[in-house]
């Protein structure tokens, strides 16, 4: 063992349990630093999620506590309540966490609470008691098998998302309280499901109307100007704090203290302004590119957008009330649908490079073929890899196939 550098001897006044051979070091420690795995989760989330730093931080903190065995035993790994405007990333961040840790965004088990309002619907979740008609045929949605189905060799975590919890019936609410507190659910046939390796996320639109009023005031001094600023994608200073307060207050008003006490964290998601939407546009464009690479390897092509065409999509896709959902709809309508027409009519083929520009006169996007017969390396080089690099790795193999086919074709042509 390396001898410790002695600073000063511990005197008897320092505490009865210390021995005289113990030395004091007084080395400052940094508790804000996270371990390698938590840091890697944080980086992954920051690549996929824009403008929701608090939510990212809370998820990373809880994950780190889990890794070091510091979270409370006999409870789920984390219980989160997400509030805030629609289309701000509440569902997406759960999928992104599952993607970062399990490499599968579809591994999130989603329970839409609005679908379980009556007691007979609860049977879909927990199965019916033995003896009931159809007992054997019902496969509970929340069984241990379902919970563990996406576990990997190295990562035994489950992600469970309860959407719109304010719509849950009393019966569902009682189940939820048991899960949050004891990490246990009792199925219809009395089997127990263990949630101690699960992260529980709940979302609610609670306080949404107050929040939307804060973001886009209808009455009062300066309401018109404030609304205009919001509509053009400017989130006012102090808005984040106001929304967070409004969300937490709404949660305390609506939910019982026994529920609120079982939560590790209530996070109010922030409205997305132009700066955030601009970054989300790049992420979404990369996802469209990914879809093209994945859909059919022999049809893989690349597209690039000029700055003006991105500005146009942003202009059409900015609506602070609907967040990124509105932007996604604009991308589908103005970019994806026209491109699918180009594919269907064989104006675009595998190995093509499509350039998208903005026609200022007619206020629409222009599509032009910049090159054809590109080898895969060339296509990959054209794609912006800064945002979704891990996903691009999968695309590489898909487009490698495309490259082979492409080379085969070009050799036939020559």
- Site residues, ligand ATP (CB under 6 A): 49-52, 86-92, 205, 272, 280, 283, 323-325, 328
Helix or strand run (H / E) with residue 359:
strand 353-359
Q: What's the closest the beta carbon of residue 91 comes to ligand ATP, in angstroms?
A: 3
Residue 62 DSSP one-character state: H
Q: What's the closest the beta carbon of residue 312 comes to ligand ATP, in angstroms?
A: 19
CA 325 to CA 322: how far, in whole Å? 6
Residue 143 DSSP one-character state: -
Tell me which of Mg ion, ligand ATP, none is bound by residue 92, counting a contact when its beta carbon lies within the kind-specific cut-off of 5 to 8 angstroms.
ligand ATP
Q: What's the closest the beta carbon of residue 114 comes to Mg ion, in angstroms?
A: 12
Tell me which of Mg ion, ligand ATP, none is bound by residue 88, counting a contact when its beta carbon lies within the kind-specific cut-off of 5 to 8 angstroms.
ligand ATP
Nearer to ligand ATP, 230 or 324 (CB): 324
Nearer to Mg ion, 302 or 324 (CB): 324
Give the footprint of Mg ion on this chain (CB under 5 A).
Answer: 90-91
Tell me which of Mg ion, ligand ATP, none is bound by residue 140, counting a contact when its beta carbon lies within the kind-specific cut-off of 5 to 8 angstroms.
none
Nearer to Mg ion, 107 or 406 (CB): 107
Nearer to Mg ion, 87 or 351 (CB): 87
CA 370 to CA 352: how far, in whole Å? 8
Q: What's the closest the beta carbon of residue 90 comes to ligand ATP, in angstroms?
A: 3
Q: What's the closest the beta carbon of residue 280 comes to Mg ion, in angstroms?
A: 15
Instruction: Kindly report the number of other CB atoms within 10 A of residue 95's CB atom.
Output: 20
CA 194 to CA 178: how far, in whole Å? 11
Burial class from Cβ neighbours inside 10 Å (0-12, 13-18, 19+) for residue 72 reads: exposed
Is 219 strand, coil or helix? coil
Where do we find the tokens 């900015």?
318
Angle formed at CA 302 by CA 409 and CA 340, multiple of 5 degrees: 95
Residue nearest to ligand ATP (CB): 89
Q: How far is CA 408 from CA 322, 401, 413, in A?
A: 47, 11, 9
Q: What's the closest the beta carbon of residue 28 comes to ligand ATP, in angstroms?
A: 35
Please report the beta strands in 204-284, taking only residues with DSSP state E, as ranges in sequence order: 265-268
Where do we find the tokens 């590489």?
396
Nearer to Mg ion, 162 or 301 (CB): 162
Tell me which of Mg ion, ligand ATP, none is bound by residue 260, counting a contact when its beta carbon lies within the kind-specific cut-off of 5 to 8 angstroms.
none
Nearer to ligand ATP, 111 or 324 (CB): 324
């Amino acid at each position: 063992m390396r001898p410790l550098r002695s600073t000063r001897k511990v005197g008897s006044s320092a505490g009865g349990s210390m021995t005289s051979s113990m030395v004091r070091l007084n080395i400052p420690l940094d508790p804000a630093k996270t371990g390698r795995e938590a840091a890697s989760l944080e980086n992954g989330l920051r690549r996929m999620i824009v403008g929701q730093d608090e939510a990212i931080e809370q998820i990373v903190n809880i994950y780190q506590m889990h890794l070091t065995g510091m979270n409370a035993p006999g409870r789920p790994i984390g219980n989160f309540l997400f509030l805030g405007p629609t289309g701000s990333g509440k569902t997406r961040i759960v999928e992104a966490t599952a993607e970062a840790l399990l490499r599968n965004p579809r591994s999130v088990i989603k329970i839409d609470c609005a679908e379980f309002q009556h007691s007979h619907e609860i049977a879909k979740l927990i199965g019916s008691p033995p003896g009931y008609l159809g007992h054997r045929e019902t496969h509970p949605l929340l069984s241990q098998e379902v919970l563990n189905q996406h576990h990997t060799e190295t990562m035994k975590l489950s992600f469970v998302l309860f959407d719109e919890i304010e719509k849950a019936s009393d019966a569902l609410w009682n189940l939820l309280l048991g899960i949050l507190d004891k990490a246990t659910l009792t199925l219809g046939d009395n089997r127990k499901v263990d949630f101690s390796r699960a992260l529980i996320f709940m979302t609610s639109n609670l306080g949404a109307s107050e929040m939307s009023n804060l973001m886009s005031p209808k009455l009062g001094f300066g309401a018109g100007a404030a609304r205009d600023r919001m509509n053009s994608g400017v989130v006012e200073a102090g808005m984040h704090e106001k929304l967070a307060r409004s969300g937490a207050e709404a949660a305390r008003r609506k939910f019982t203290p026994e529920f609120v006490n079982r939560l590790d964290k209530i996070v109010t998601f922030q409205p997305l302004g132009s700066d955030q939407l601009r970054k989300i546009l790049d992420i979404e464009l990369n996802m469209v590119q990914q879809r093209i690479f994945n859909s059919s390897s022999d049809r893989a092509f690349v597209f690039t957008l000029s700055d003006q065409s991105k500005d146009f999509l942003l202009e059409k896709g900015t609506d602070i009330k609907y967040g990124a959902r509105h932007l996604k709809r604009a991308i589908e309508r103005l970019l994806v649908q026209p491109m699918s027409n180009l594919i269907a009519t064989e104006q675009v083929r595998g190995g093509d490079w499509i350039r998208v520009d903005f026609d200022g006169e007619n206020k629409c996007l222009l599509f032009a073929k910049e090159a054809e017969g590109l080898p895969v390396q060339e296509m990959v080089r054209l794609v912006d890899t800064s945002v979704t690099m891990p996903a691009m790795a999968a695309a590489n193999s898909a487009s490698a196939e495309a490259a082979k086919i492409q080379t085969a074709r070009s050799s036939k042509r020559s």
